[in-house]
Structure 1
Amino acid sequence: MFRKIITVPAAFCACLTLNVAPAGAQDAQSGEDAFSFKDRLTQDWGGVRRTLAEHGVDFQLTDQNEFWAIPVGGSQPSNNYIGVTTGQLSLDLGRLTHLPLGTLGISGVDIRGHPFSNQPLYVFNQVSGIEADINLRLYEVWYGQTFDHDRLDLRVGKLDLSHDFMGSDGAQQFMNASFSWPMVPDNNLYDQGPAAPLGTPALRLKYALSHDWTVLAAVADDNPIGASFLNEADPWNQNQDPSGTRFHFGTGALMFLEAQYHTKLWGRDGTYKLGGYGDTGRFPDQADSSVRHKGNWTFYAVADQKLASLSGVQTLAGFVRATWAPPANRNQIANAVDAGFVLNAPFQRTDDVLALGFGYGEASPVLRRAERRAGTLAQHTEYHLELTYQFQATRWLLIQPDLQGMLSPSGGVLDTAGRRVKDEAIFGLHSSVSF
């Protein structure tokens, strides 16, 4: 699944909104300042992009490339390349038609390179948030509109629900996929859940109860691809719908509910979230895959808190997210935690970020007991560590060196040669260009 890359510094394909100021602010700005494209390499296309934006049309192309080296651990040392190009089009129908309409968005991705987290690393979750099966596919297509003086935000279409649910702002700075889309839904839901590069038919509501409280809810199809839950030949199942044009409705319903509280602690901003999801589909038993269980559910809590203001423009923030999947007989990952610290503006560079994160995912005790009875290596807990630096070379170019450590991959597992997979040291280099 794709990590929501913070380029300048927006989320990867998160909202597909125009790069313009709010309507009220535009009246107070000059025409030159209202539509700025300095954060894109090709800027305003000699005025063409500015003219389109004034009429509600915005197109953006983002290209991400990563090189990875694994000199130690896994089943064998390796070097890998992965990349993705994302195209996104946004149409502000209100601007286009001068009618009280909302926004239409569509995006697609071209995925390339060679996925390496399944083999040779054998980890629970991908080392990189842009790691996926090689395909040129439709990602999202949706219509969104606000009501009640913008307090109610509705979106319907083929959606990536990780944009709205279970997210931590601090965790988005990292490259390991566990920080952006948690290990629990990634391993326990159909097709790794409704997270990039997969969208699923869904309706999402967001309502601002007050300045401090926001409630989000969504109902979606629980199977973005529409394939069976288990597929040893294609574990991610993405090749079962390589174009991303299948709109599946036949497996079950996936429902999210999340409450967000925005406050100040010790005079510093913080956001706290509590939520959960339920799935009406059928899931294989962790001890006997021929047995199916009806329904599944998970609870989670997220905290993002600014901790200190340091010298100059530097700030230190922290985050923690815990997820818990109670039905151990139908979930591979029983619980997981991610946490970390984020230093904004290191070396007084306003747009740079230095971050240290860590976390773990624990395998189901039902799965562990079944493996012991079978006389095989029992999976327990996988730990991941990450140190990363986002260097904003220009407003449109981000370069990010990265160091990760994976301890007890997949909680202890054997490779295809029957040898235990060793702890791993992983070096990565990411680049992101916004055109």
Structure 2
Amino acid sequence: MFLFSVLLVGALRRRSISCHHTFFGRACLFGLAVLAFAEGIVAGPALAEDGAFADKLTGQWGGIRTTLKAHGVDFQVNDQNEFWGVPVGGSQPSNNYVGMTTATLSLDLRRMTGLKLGTFSISGVDIRGRPFSNQPLYVFNQVSGIEADDNLRLYELAYDQTFDHDRVDVRIGKLDLSRDFMGSDTAQTFLNASFSWPMVPDNNLYDQGPSSPLATPAVRVKYHPDDHWTVLASVGDDNPIGAGFINENDPWNQNQDPGGTRFHFGTGALMFLEAQYRTQAPVYAGTFKLGGYGDTGRFPDQATLEMRHKGNWALYAVADQVIAKLPGRESLSAFARGTGTAEADRNQIVYSVDAGLVLNAPFQRADDSLGLGFGVGAPSNILARSERRSHEIAQGNEYHLELTYQWQACPWLLVQPDIQGILAPSGGVVGDNGRRVKDEAIFGFHSSVDF
């Protein structure tokens, strides 16, 4: 039955893409996701093949997949679907569907040729649904990490080579730099995009920065001298799309390059540097990161958009720590991340803080997680003064809360009910209806299937 549900979803996509833009189409997909969830609980892992690729819905493809893998060819497909309801707050109540399918082809050139080569990979994303965080929610950052403009686009195109007995790793191509920098492993439990890519780069860099579903021409170097330390550095173009910084008709600029095939150079260089330290405690493991980025591009002034400032930067610190070992399989992890910049004249957000607790293996379910997270984003004081001079309501801090549960129904199916609260959306912004946007209660359901 679950396989039938998946095929039916595919048929809906092939027959009419526009169905994703209607409430009926989104409701159908949500119902199928719930059905898939129920079937996953009942059937469990039995639908997947035993042994290799048991964590994939389609298994070993009758042995073909195993053979390809042995010869250096790997193909991965992940499909995510979400349904969101906002009964309270925002500029108006709403129901929203978003979805993303990611396909990745990896070629292990060393295994294929016998030469000391690396790995070539190419990936693409099919993004569905209509973004809803800008309107009607008016929040600083997206409610969902997969929320983006509706496009079928190239994601990453990369070559990865290791040196010096794997202590040095060089990756070059069109890269999503958020995969390497500013991240917290514990925070990946949450769905709100602020927990994966902080508000500071998301609101202050061109096109929200080089983060999914956008990638930028770049080179990333990782140096891993021992089990404790890792140092990462990268340099790339700071404008993944290549469009102007402000576009009122297309705020995210993603529709300026809907296929993701533009390799832009020329706006400025974006550079990251990060040091990581990992403890080796057998129970209370932790990871601590300190880093920053610099951008040589030009950025609009927060008070006078016609004025431009040369250069930009921000610093950040991240901590992930297991803080308690509980009976059985359960453990409690915590994370905290702070990001900030002193350049208030060219940045909408001057600092953001995210923190949370995650209970691993709740109810003795080894692959489940229960998370409670909190975050705040603070806008520029120069922006606030400019708004007051214009007799507008000055933006203050925005706060977001999230309670979520990851249920690994079977090895290839993850389902996740989610509750979020946004206090003072965009710091008390006024919507297009002329009224102040109200605090928001947001209810979501996420599903992820590995094929």
TM superposition score normalised by structure 2: 0.88
Alignment gaps of 5+ in structure 1 = 1-31
Residue in 1 that maps onto 2:144: 128
Question: Is residue 353 from structure 1 mapped to residue 369 from structure 2 by the alignment?
Answer: yes
Residue in 1 that maps onto 2:100: 84
1:413 maps to which of 426, 429, 444: 429
1:342 maps to which of 351, 358, 363: 358
1:61 maps to which of 52, 77, 92: 77
Residue in 2 that maps onto 1:374: 390
The 1-side partners of 2:158 and 2:442 are apart by: 37
The 2-side partners of 1:87 and 1:210 are apart by: 33
Q: Which amino acid aligns with 2:131?
A: P
Offset of residue 209 of structure 1: 2.5
The 2-side partners of 1:115 and 1:211 are apart by: 41
Does the Cα contact within 8 Å between 2:283 and 2:325 map onto a contact in 1? no
Residue in 1 that maps onto 2:273: 257
Residue in 2 that maps onto 1:297: 313
1:185 maps to which of 173, 176, 201: 201
Offset of residue 216 of structure 1: 0.2
Question: Is residue 317 from structure 1 mapped to residue 333 from structure 2 by the alignment?
Answer: yes
Question: Is residue 176 from structure 1 mapped to residue 159 from structure 2 by the alignment?
Answer: no
2:134 maps to which of 118, 122, 141: 118
Q: Which amino acid aligns with 1:122?
A: Y
Residue in 2 that maps onto 1:28: none
Residue in 1 that maps onto 2:37: none
Measured at CA, do residues 375 and 196 of structure 1 come closer, stay the same or move farther in structure 2, by a change above 3 Å?
same
The 1-side partners of 2:274 and 2:421 are apart by: 31
Q: Which amino acid aligns with 2:361?
A: A
Q: How many residues align?
A: 403
The 1-side partners of 2:228 and 2:128 are apart by: 42
Offset of residue 267 of structure 1: 5.8
1:137 maps to which of 130, 153, 156: 153
SS in 2 for 1:210: coil
Residue in 2 that maps onto 1:5: none
Offset of residue 210 of structure 1: 2.2
Does the Cα contact within 8 Å between 2:370 and 2:404 map onto a contact in 1? yes
SS in 1 for 2:135: helix
Residue in 2 that maps onto 1:268: 284
Does the Cα contact within 8 Å between 2:228 and 2:280 map onto a contact in 1? no
SS in 2 for 1:377: coil
Superimposed CA distance per residue, residues 226-269 of structure 1 (whole angstroms, 9 cap, x where no aligned partner): 00000010000000000000000010000000000111579611
Superimposed CA distance per residue, residues 325-353 of structure 1 (whole angstroms, 9 cap, x where no aligned partner): 11000000000000000100000000000
SS in 2 for 1:133: coil
Q: Which amino acid aligns with 2:396?
A: H
SS in 2 for 1:120: coil
Residue in 2 that maps onto 1:434: 450
Residue in 1 that maps onto 2:119: 103
The 1-side partners of 2:376 and 2:434 are apart by: 24
The 2-side partners of 1:191 and 1:312 are apart by: 45
Residue in 1 that maps onto 2:410: 394
SS in 2 for 1:242: coil
Give the share of equivalent positions with the same residue, in percent.
71
Offset of residue 82 of structure 1: 0.6
Superimposed CA distance per residue, residues 63-102 of structure 1 (whole angstroms, 9 cap, x where no aligned partner): 1000000000000000010101111000000011111000
The 2-side partners of 1:261 and 1:363 are apart by: 31
Q: Which amino acid aligns with 2:88?
A: V
TM superposition score normalised by structure 1: 0.92
SS in 2 for 1:274: strand
Question: Is residue 70 from structure 1 mapped to residue 86 from structure 2 by the alignment?
Answer: yes
Offset of residue 281 of structure 1: 0.1
SS in 1 for 2:62: helix
Does the Cα contact within 8 Å between 2:292 and 2:314 map onto a contact in 1? yes
Q: Which amino acid aligns with 1:242?
A: P
Superimposed CA distance per residue, residues 391-421 of structure 1 (whole angstroms, 9 cap, x where no aligned partner): 0001000000000000000011001011000
The 2-side partners of 1:267 and 1:130 are apart by: 33
Offset of residue 36 of structure 1: 1.6
Q: Which amino acid aligns with 1:400?
A: Q
Measured at CA, do residues 267 and 391 of structure 1 come closer, stay the same or move farther in structure 2, by a change above 3 Å?
closer
Measured at CA, do residues 267 and 349 of structure 1 come closer, stay the same or move farther in structure 2, by a change above 3 Å?
closer
Residue in 1 that maps onto 2:168: 152
2:236 maps to which of 213, 220, 244: 220
Q: Which amino acid aligns with 1:76?
A: Q
Question: Is residue 281 from structure 1 mapped to residue 297 from structure 2 by the alignment?
Answer: yes
Alignment gaps of 5+ in structure 2 = 1-48
Measured at CA, do residues 110 and 369 of structure 1 come closer, stay the same or move farther in structure 2, by a change above 3 Å?
same
Does the Cα contact within 8 Å between 2:296 and 2:312 map onto a contact in 1? yes
Residue in 2 that maps onto 1:246: 262
The 2-side partners of 1:114 and 1:102 are apart by: 38
The 1-side partners of 2:433 and 2:57 are apart by: 47
Q: Which amino acid aligns with 2:300?
A: P
Q: Which amino acid aligns with 2:423?
A: L
Q: Which runs of 4+ in 1 moved over 3 A?
A: 264-267
Question: Is residue 424 from structure 1 mapped to residue 444 from structure 2 by the alignment?
Answer: no
